[in-house]
Structure 1
Amino acid sequence: MGLTSLIYQNKSVILFCLVTYILFWLTIATFQQSTNRNKNQQLRRLKYRSDSTFSFILDGLLPLKVNLLLIDPYVLQYLFIDQFSFDKLEKELITFGIIDEFVEKFLQSFQGNNFSINISKNDLSNHKISTDHIFIEYKQKIIHLAVFHKYKSFYLIEENTISLSTNIQLSYGDTLRAVEPTEIAVHEYSFFYPRDVSHFLWLYETSKFLHCSQVLANRMENEFHLYQNTSQLNVTVVPMRNIAYALNKLKKHYWLAGGTLLGWYRHCGLIPFTQDADFGLFAEEYDESIRNHFLGNPITYLWGALGLVNDSLEFRLYTGRFTLDLFWAYREGDHRWCGYQVQRAKFRRTLPLLETVCSCDLFGSRFSIPCSPIDYLDGEYGIDKWKNPLEKNYTWVNMKFHSLWDDISWMYATRLYTRQGKLRRDKVAIDWISKHFNYSLTSIPSFLNILPNEPVVLPPLKTKLVYGSPIKRKKIKKKRFKSSHRNQIK
């Protein structure tokens, strides 16, 4: 048998051995490169750590194999946004997060002979002691470990209860705060940090956490027999989470508004007979990314855009079973206002400035709310009037008639979309506009899908628009109550 024939008959075995040989040496080479890289990192770290107090403390913590997540807003900005070196950081205290299930192991394993340790604890209702904060001090530098307590789909960091130096301002522990799970990466000094630092810092601005009124929620059930509607929750939870998630990713501040906010605070859920959900947004943060996200969205799609970007803008989203409204709030002096449209009449609801928003729990997820929800509800419904359910003759106390859309504005103030995100041109869209329009429409003009650079010129009005006659006011008022009453029966 010739050599060629022998090779041919055993080609599979030879090929396997060759591939194995190559993979073996590739593995050896990769391992050597990794080892050399780790050695270089360690040498580089030791070079800078010799005079770093923070590094000395971390050297004592990291061997315990307890994952530390850098959450200090100042340090995250310093390292990953401003791109400065950790070794040159001048700060008295740095805050890391630690999962509560690792705390006991950490306290048992950590030998703090060279360190001063202070622990903030909290007595829970079930007579258990909760460790909330650990302060490890060495040479006037402090590593602060803020404990993440699992709370439904996110984490809570409790308020610190022990005294600290007056010049220390805590970023976590100053108040109760919520932290959402985040993707992480590893720093060269072996601690973890949020992979998307910019988004983590943006969420921190709204992380102050508020609880609903369990006292009022119990009263709604015990005295008024108003219970959470399970079938309603099943069609509400997913679309509300979808909206909150999208607005957070787009870095658009929002808050639960109107009857949705009232449902959260008074019922610790939803008002049982509500038929939609309301979100408020800052008008100055608007851009087309919001419209583009919800056009044709498979969960909550943009059904109608009412108003203009600079005047009374409202998005109506729909799931096929449930309506969700996004209202933009415009700043004006010492307050804000958002528009409410009834036929061609524009109403305005006055709101507080809402310079910041906070966090809450609803359906086990984190949502944003006004930081002073009681003041917000007092302004919408009247002082303390919202604490009792009102089922008849409800009206907004902060809503006033403002003006009428003129013909040109009206053509832009109502745009309807299909589930696929296309401008509707069917009879429904034509009737919606022409019903309160001075002209007959046979089709929807294509220019309505975008805002023109120059105004569209229409012929002179056939009739003068008048708002205020007794008959018309009565009809509009009745319609308004019907429209607002559908989800605001209190």
Structure 2
Amino acid sequence: MGFQWQKYEGKDPRLEGMEDLSGTQIPLHYIFKMAAHAIHLVVFYERSGNYLWHGPLRLKKNMDRKFAPFRKLQFGRYAGAFNRAELTQITIDGLKVQIPKDPSQFLKEMAHSRFLECRFKEARAFFQLYPDDISPEGIEFRKKAKALLHLAAFTLDNLGVSFWLSSGTCLGWYRQCNIIPYSKDVDIGIFIKDYKSDIIPAFQNAGLPLKHKFGKVEDSLELSFLGSDDVKLDVFFFYEEDDYMWNGGTQVKSGKKFKYLFPKFTHCWTEFAEMKVRVPCETLEYLEANYGKGWDVPVKIWDWKSSPPNVQPNGMWPVDEWDDVIQIY
């Protein structure tokens, strides 16, 4: 029909780990060009977390870099993840086309769709140095932690509360593409501006009783829930300052307060434990703040009050507030 066109391929991340198929190339983008006009066709794939994914647009060395205004393409520089959209058929200029039933929701997702793939190559190298825990206890913990994370995500999604993988759970994703078997809990972060008073009852209704509540909404709030299999869910609330972000910590016996400082970060999607979940886009800086430059070496003995390089004293809770800011169940 007179179009010039280019096809852009990339690795299929769904086949990662399958030795015979790993590295298989799949079509990610096509650009069709006629005169001064271009059609950008983006290929979406279904991923195991029941969401849609598209790959980044990467130009190979021998490709014409002037073929299209690549920098202006909305689906270009980064891979993206979207909820599965319900489609509806409409007619535009006599053409029958499909669009998302809720276009505004799709456009809203576009602005925050950036996707980070798990670092499979680095994870394999990590396990060559530090063999994975495949004991029955390690496998069982990962199974329980995965179920707890899915339940937490379902509960928070129903409330419309955004969260991301934090602390040891984020470290496990970035370092070894899996849950750390000796971590014994699941860690997530929530911005305090997204806090809702019905978070606690929603978790309790989901079968996760409150284990402890430290701090208050205005200062150092932290919640911990107990899963049905004694795996703990720690919810850290983050506060934003002009040039950094932080979450708080409380020592029960002394009333001492602690503050964990993080460089400012944004959110990306990833796939973890067979679900679409958020992580800090600036993951390395986030983990180095929390664990130092040696984050890639396993540490099984960890003191939350002194081991993190980003921890600092933050005063004391007044004794007359202890009943409110130090609650253990």
Give the TM-score band, short-chain normalised.
0.7 to 0.9
Superimposed CA distance per residue, residues 307-360 of structure 1 (whole angstroms, 9 cap, x where no aligned partner): 111111112122222111111111122101101111122111111211x21111
Task: Indicate the residue corresponding to 2:167 in structure 1.
Answer: 258
Take 1:318 and 1:366, find their aligned partners in 2: how far apart are those partners? 23
Take 1:279 and 1:397, find their aligned partners in 2: how far apart are those partners? 19
Tell me if 1:276 matches 2:185.
yes
C-alpha displacement of 1:210:
1.6
C-alpha displacement of 1:251:
4.0
Task: Output the aligned Cα RMSD.
Answer: 2.7
Q: Secondary structure at the match of 2:78?
A: coil
Take 1:289 and 1:172, find their aligned partners in 2: how far apart are those partners? 37
Structure 2 unaligned spans of 5+? 13-20, 60-64
What amino acid sits opposite 1:305 in the alignment?
A: K
Relative to structure 1, the CA distance from residue 184 to residue 238 in structure 2 (aligned partners, 3 Å threshold; closer, same or farther) is farther
Structure 1 unaligned spans of 5+? 1-112, 417-428, 430-490
- Equivalent residues in 2 for 1:379-398 (5 A)? 379-383=289-293, 385-392=294-301, 395-398=307-310
8 Å contact kept, 2:38–2:68: no
Task: Indicate the residue corresponding to 2:16 in structure 1.
Answer: none
Task: Indicate the residue corresponding to 1:350 in structure 2.
Answer: 261
Take 1:378 and 1:279, find their aligned partners in 2: how far apart are those partners? 17
Task: Indicate the residue corresponding to 1:237 in structure 2.
Answer: 146
What amino acid sits opposite 1:236 in the alignment?
A: A
Relative to structure 1, the CA distance from residue 216 to residue 120 in structure 2 (aligned partners, 3 Å threshold; closer, same or farther) is closer
- Equivalent residues in 2 for 1:15-164 (5 A)? 113=1, 115-122=3-10, 128-137=24-33, 140-153=36-49, 154-162=51-59, 163=65, 164=67
Relative to structure 1, the CA distance from residue 184 to residue 361 in structure 2 (aligned partners, 3 Å threshold; closer, same or farther) is same
Q: Structure 1 residue aligned with 2:225, among 303, 308, 317?
A: 317
8 Å contact kept, 2:139–2:181: no
8 Å contact kept, 1:199–1:251: no
C-alpha displacement of 1:379:
0.9
C-alpha displacement of 1:367:
1.3
Q: Secondary structure at the match of 2:144?
A: helix
Relative to structure 1, the CA distance from residue 128 to residue 275 in structure 2 (aligned partners, 3 Å threshold; closer, same or farther) is closer
8 Å contact kept, 1:282–1:330: yes
C-alpha displacement of 1:128:
5.0
Task: Indicate the residue corresponding to 1:175 in structure 2.
Answer: 78
Superimposed CA distance per residue, residues 421-453 of structure 1 (whole angstroms, 9 cap, x where no aligned partner): xxxxxxxx5xxxxxxxxxxxxxxxxxxxxxxxx
8 Å contact kept, 1:282–1:328: yes
Relative to structure 1, the CA distance from residue 185 to residue 315 in structure 2 (aligned partners, 3 Å threshold; closer, same or farther) is farther
Tell me if 1:363 matches 2:273.
yes
C-alpha displacement of 1:199:
4.4
TM-score, structure 1 as length reference? 0.56
Relative to structure 1, the CA distance from residue 290 to residue 201 in structure 2 (aligned partners, 3 Å threshold; closer, same or farther) is farther
Take 1:277 and 1:225, find their aligned partners in 2: how far apart are those partners? 22
Relative to structure 1, the CA distance from residue 214 to residue 340 in structure 2 (aligned partners, 3 Å threshold; closer, same or farther) is same
Normalized per residue, the structure richer in strand is: 2
Take 1:248 and 1:237, find their aligned partners in 2: how far apart are those partners? 16
Relative to structure 1, the CA distance from residue 411 to residue 160 in structure 2 (aligned partners, 3 Å threshold; closer, same or farther) is same
Relative to structure 1, the CA distance from residue 407 to residue 254 in structure 2 (aligned partners, 3 Å threshold; closer, same or farther) is same
Task: Indicate the residue corresponding to 1:96 in structure 2.
Answer: none
Take 1:338 and 1:294, find their aligned partners in 2: how far apart are those partners? 21
Task: Indicate the residue corresponding to 1:107 in structure 2.
Answer: none
C-alpha displacement of 1:250:
4.0
- Equivalent residues in 2 for 1:263-342 (5 A)? 263-298=172-207, 300-321=208-229, 322-342=231-251
Take 1:252 and 1:218, find their aligned partners in 2: how far apart are those partners? 34
Take 1:291 and 1:333, find their aligned partners in 2: how far apart are those partners? 29
Q: Which has the higher contact order (CA 8 A, sep 6+)?
A: 2
Task: Indicate the residue corresponding to 1:10 in structure 2.
Answer: none
Q: Structure 1 residue aligned with 2:128, among 222, 234, 239?
A: 222
8 Å contact kept, 1:122–1:132: yes
Number of residue pairs aligned between Structure 1 and Structure 2: 302
Task: Indicate the residue corresponding to 1:89 in structure 2.
Answer: none
Relative to structure 1, the CA distance from residue 199 to residue 313 in structure 2 (aligned partners, 3 Å threshold; closer, same or farther) is farther
C-alpha displacement of 1:263:
0.8
What amino acid sits opposite 1:147 in the alignment?
A: V
Tell me if 1:194 matches 2:82.
no
What amino acid sits opposite 1:270 in the alignment?
A: I
Q: Secondary structure at the match of 1:386?
A: coil
What amino acid sits opposite 1:286 in the alignment?
A: Y
Q: Secondary structure at the match of 1:376?
A: helix
Take 2:214 and 2:169, find their aligned partners in 1: how far apart are those partners? 20
Normalized per residue, the structure richer in helix is: 1
TM-score, structure 2 as length reference? 0.80
Take 2:272 and 2:108, find their aligned partners in 1: how far apart are those partners? 21
C-alpha displacement of 1:170:
2.0
Tell me if 1:376 matches 2:289.
no
C-alpha displacement of 1:204:
3.5
8 Å contact kept, 1:199–1:249: no
Relative to structure 1, the CA distance from residue 214 to residue 123 in structure 2 (aligned partners, 3 Å threshold; closer, same or farther) is closer
Take 2:302 and 2:147, find their aligned partners in 1: how far apart are those partners? 32
Take 1:301 and 1:191, find their aligned partners in 2: how far apart are those partners? 49
8 Å contact kept, 1:157–1:173: no
